[in-house]
Amino acid sequence: MKIIRCARALCTVGLVLSLSACGTGAGASPAAIEPTESTGSASEMPHAGASSDSTPTRAESSDQPDTLGTYRQLFAEPALAQCMSEIMGQHVDDQLTRKAAEGMTGIGGIGNITVKNGRFVPAEDTENPHCAAALQHVTSIAGIEHFTNIQTLCLDGLINLRDLTPVRGLRQLMSIRLLDTAVTDFSQLNSPTRIYNLDVFISAGMPTPTIAQQRAWRINIITQAP
């Protein structure tokens, strides 16, 4: 049996430094107590080290991660939530941080296909058992838009997948694989903000947009036979 597997993209997590998360505004300095003439007795003067309830204090910095929510909350399809949590090495009820999501440059573990009797069919994914063939009923990938820096996305074998609108906001995306899917409306991939033209791999025999449409939508259709 011939197995076709999407190459797993490496997760590179960029370290994002926030220059203003814990600091004061530009030019800001702690409030100073101006000296004034005293008309009272020495006993009315504040003792050294004394503090006032009205003295402003610096807000404690938060150690809480910048979370987007749990996978179960972020993905409308429960099976896809389970799959993505596996790809990220977490539990479906764990929190996905913005740092981790933005650090992904490619997602290759969602789809996986094999060739059987001369046609593409969904394959089992032993590394991520809740992906690939386990996602045959999924119709939408809503939630994938949180991974804003991915350049490659493999959705092969999601035989009921039709909705690609969540992909529109992925400005870095350069390649998407849709072999053995139910996608027919490629205009959903149209994105005027995308940095590169998008290579779209589809199965031979699937409806193909005209060259003029591909240029208008900034996509390049590439067909593959089993």
For the chain, list the domains and their CATH numbers: 2-11+67-224 (3.80.10.10)
Distance of CA 111 to the CA centre of its chain: 17
Write down the pLDDT at residue 214: 96
Long-range contacts of 77-82 (CB under 8 A, 24+ apart): 77/135, 77/138, 77/139, 77/140, 77/141, 77/142, 77/143, 79/130, 79/134, 79/135, 79/137, 79/138, 80/110, 80/135, 80/138, 80/141, 80/143, 81/143, 82/130, 82/134
Write down the pLDDT at residue 72: 96
Write down the pLDDT at residue 4: 53
Question: Low-confidence residues of the chain, pLDDT below 70?
Answer: 1-65
Instruction: Output phi, psi for 156, to 5 deg.
Output: -55, 140
What element of type H or E holds 69?
strand 67-70
User: How much is the pTM?
Assistant: 0.71
Write down the pLDDT at residue 153: 96
> CA 145, CA 153: separation in Å to the nearest integer?
11
Write down the pLDDT at residue 6: 64
Residue 74 near residue 81, CB atoms below 8 Å:
yes
| Per-residue DSSP letter, 34 | -
Q: Give Cβ neighbours of residue 140 (< 8 Å, ≥ 6 apart).
A: 76, 77, 161, 162, 163, 166
* Helix, coil or strand: residue 200: strand
> CA 147, CA 170: separation in Å to the nearest integer?
8
* Helix, coil or strand: residue 78: helix
* Helix, coil or strand: residue 74: helix
Helix-then-strand count for the chain, H and E: 4, 10
Write down the pLDDT at residue 160: 95
How many CB atoms within 10 Å of residue 182?
Answer: 13
Residue 220 near residue 198, CB atoms below 8 Å:
yes
Instruction: Fill in the amino acid letter for 168.
Output: R
